[in-house]
């Protein structure tokens, strides 16, 4: 039976109403014992507002809605309370999460505030948030992160972010949770710490209850709680918040025969995401997938968070299917026709129009930088040639040590490096016509763009050039994962990063195994990206250090100058 997508969204309550809202009529409140087991968070800040989030856990069942109070103060001791919302509602129908959009209640631009929640005589931990600056601004500091696979390691990168002396906002570019189960062969379960971090529920998540439980488990992590309490977060999903390699009509890790209708699963995943994350609810009359939105950091930066999974993306190509062999040789012409087809989309037209409008308005206003908060790597990245980087003798020695499945993949990648085709068809490189449309938008507006990317589990520093190869359009910083394994974990000690740089004009630096986050400092005359690595993810005792530092300067007439290591 075909399920109507809009009816599914309605049944699951995705109507655009906030989870925490002022109460209009008397309610039979739950008055029993409660706890704040999942910390506090803030997000989607503006100059005079922010979203404030928590989850109130009832300790007795059955439990109805819970009355909640939010206090926002100018000091950590709450001696000067600047705003108070006394009757918020943690709804049972929203998994007892409460999310309040505080606007027009005395908050000032570029100001740090402290907040807490109270319910049934219990007080939550205290969080810190910061409103966005307005007008003339000296600088902006952003921590950029992605890809946190719970069983694969401890969230030390989040802990390091929580300990920063200054961070104006945390950008999470997706894969905040993972959908996989906790079986012996499931993703990340071969980690030395997996037994202490078994996914909940232990099976792959499909239903609304499953997605809620997985979000709840993540938010019990002390490092993640600390990072949420440190600063406002600006988030967007990638694929694992629903299912691996998701697109508008399905996902690689979704089998309709055994896991039901994709629209129903997606709606459940998004409902849980909006409940459990400090993100502004979708506007009334719009679908929740349309999560693109903008943030203005004074005259220093316009941050444009794009959505590249669920609103416009067509199904990615597959080399096994879309690169046929003719007389034992790959039919590159047939593949290229599909690969470069303008109908092969990453974004929909509506989002593209929104992006053009935002970029144009930002440059006309004289904003120093246009920053794209984006899920996947945008640079051209052809498969690396390890045989050239290592030498044939060392390369053959590597192959001899690998299991058969890995040997086949590494040998195939090396052979494919002779062709100008993508190493990752799920990234922007798999959608070149759409990427060029984005470049055209940036170039037409004479923007000074910095692209941020997650997903790849690697650090990247890239220069982005147009299709003609005659104009440097932007610089890209790719944030590595918090814990999710990268190529360097699978092939330890192999010079993959060097091989990527040697093979690809646009790749200036790549580190395939480091875990950590990106610290981006934006000023009028330069932007500095610091790749912060943590020393381990299999022990909670770690050290954080700057792996590399790169400086970008704007070019006259739009675009950017060449990267410089600084």
Beta strands in 30-135 (DSSP E): 34-35, 40-43, 49-55, 57-58, 66-73, 81-90, 97-103, 112-119, 122-123, 127-130
Q: 411 φ, ψ to 5°? A: -65, -40
Query: How many C-beta atoms lie closer than 10 Å to residue 121's C-beta?
Result: 8
Class of domain 1-382+419-566: alpha beta
Beta strands in 415-458 (DSSP E): 449-453
**pLDDT for the residue 20:** 52
Categorise residue 121: left if φ over 0, alpha if ψ from -120 to 50, beta otherwise: left
Q: Which helix (H) or strand (E) holds 332?
A: helix 332-339
Q: What would the DSSP string read from start to end of 218-254?
A: HTT-HHHHHHHHHS-EEE---STTTSTTEETTEETT-
**pLDDT for the residue 8:** 38
Ranges of the chain whose pLDDT falls below 70:
1-25, 104
CA dihedral sign of residues 364, 370, 376, 377: positive
**pLDDT for the residue 24:** 57
**pLDDT for the residue 489:** 92
**pLDDT for the residue 282:** 85
Closest to 481 (Cα-Cα) out of 532, 522, 431, 529: 532
pTM for the predicted model, two decimal places = 0.94
What confidence tens digit (pLDDT) does each residue in 115-161 have? 999 999 999 999 999 999 999 999 999 999 999 999 999 999 999 99
493 alpha carbon, distance to own chain's centre? 28
Helices (H), 340-375: 349-364
**pLDDT for the residue 3:** 39
C-alpha span between 50 and 106 (Å, rounded): 12
C-alpha span between 218 and 196 (Å, rounded): 13
CA dihedral sign of residues 156, 162, 165, 169: positive
**pLDDT for the residue 104:** 67
**pLDDT for the residue 9:** 37
């Amino acid at each position: 039976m075909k399920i109507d997508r809009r009816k599914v969204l309605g049944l699951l309550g995705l109507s655009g109403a906030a989870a925490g809202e002022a109460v209009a009529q008397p309610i039979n409140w739950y008055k029993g014992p409660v706890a704040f087991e999942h910390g506090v968070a803030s997000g989607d800040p503006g100059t005079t507002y922010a979203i404030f989030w928590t989850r109130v856990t009832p300790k007795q069942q059955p439990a109805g809605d819970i009355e909640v109070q939010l206090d926002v103060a100018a000091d950590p001791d709450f001696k000067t309370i600047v705003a108070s919302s006394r009757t918020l509602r943690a709804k049972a129908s929203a998994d007892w999460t409460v999310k309040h959009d505080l606007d027009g209640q005395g908050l000032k631009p570029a100001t740090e505030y402290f907040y807490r929640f109270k319910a049934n005589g219990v007080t939550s931990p205290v969080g810190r948030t910061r409103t966005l600056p307005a007008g003339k601004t000296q600088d902006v500091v952003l921590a950029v992160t992605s890809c946190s696979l719970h069983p694969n390691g401890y969230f030390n990168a989040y802990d390091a972010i929580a300990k920063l002396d200054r961070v104006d906002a945390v950008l999470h570019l997706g894969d905040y949770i993972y959908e996989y189960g906790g079986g012996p062969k499931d993703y990340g379960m071969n980690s030395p710490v997996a037994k202490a971090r078994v996914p909940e529920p232990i099976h792959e998540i499909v239903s609304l209850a499953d997605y809620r439980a997985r979000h709840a488990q993540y938010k019990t992590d002390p490092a993640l709680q600390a990072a949420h309490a440190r600063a406002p977060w600006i988030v967007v999903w990638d694929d694992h918040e629903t299912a691996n390699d998701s697109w508008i009509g399905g996902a690689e890790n979704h089998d309709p025969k055994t896991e039901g209708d994709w629209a129903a699963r997606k709606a459940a995943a998004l409902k849980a995401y909006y409940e459990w994350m400090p993100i502004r609810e979708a506007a009334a009359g719009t679908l929740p997938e349309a999560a693109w939105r903008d943030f203005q950091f004074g005259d220093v930066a316009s941050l444009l968070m794009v959505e590249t999974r669920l609103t416009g993306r067509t199904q990615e190509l597959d080399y096994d299917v879309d690169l046929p062999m003719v007389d034992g040789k790959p039919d590159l012409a047939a593949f290229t026709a599909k690969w470069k087809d303008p109908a092969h989309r990453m974004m929909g037209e509506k989002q593209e129009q929104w992006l053009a409008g935002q970029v144009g308005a930002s440059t006309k206003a004289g904003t120093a930088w246009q920053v794209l908060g984006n899920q996947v790597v945008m640079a051209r990245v052809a498969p690396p040639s390890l045989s050239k980087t290592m030498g044939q003798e060392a390369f053959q020695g590597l192959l001899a040590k690998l299991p058969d499945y890995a040997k086949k993949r590494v040998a195939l990648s090396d052979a494919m490096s002779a062709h100008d085709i993508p190493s990752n068809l799920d990234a922007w490189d798999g959608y070149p016509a759409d990427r060029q449309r984005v470049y055209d938008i940036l170039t037409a507006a004479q923007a000074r763009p910095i692209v941020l990317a997650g997903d790849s589990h690697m650090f990247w520093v890239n220069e982005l050039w147009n299709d003609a190869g005659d104009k440097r359009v932007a610089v890209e910083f790719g944030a590595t994962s918090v814990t999710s394994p990268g190529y360097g974990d699978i092939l330890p000690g192999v010079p993959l990063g060097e091989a990527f740089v040697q093979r690809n004009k646009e790749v200036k630096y790549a580190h395939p195994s480091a875990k950590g986050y990106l610290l981006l400092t934006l000023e009028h005359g330069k932007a500095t990206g610091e790749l912060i690595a943590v020393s381990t993810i299999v022990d909670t005792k770690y050290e954080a250090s700057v792996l590399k530092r790169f400086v970008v300067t704007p070019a006259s007439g739009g675009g950017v100058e060449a990267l410089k290591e600084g």
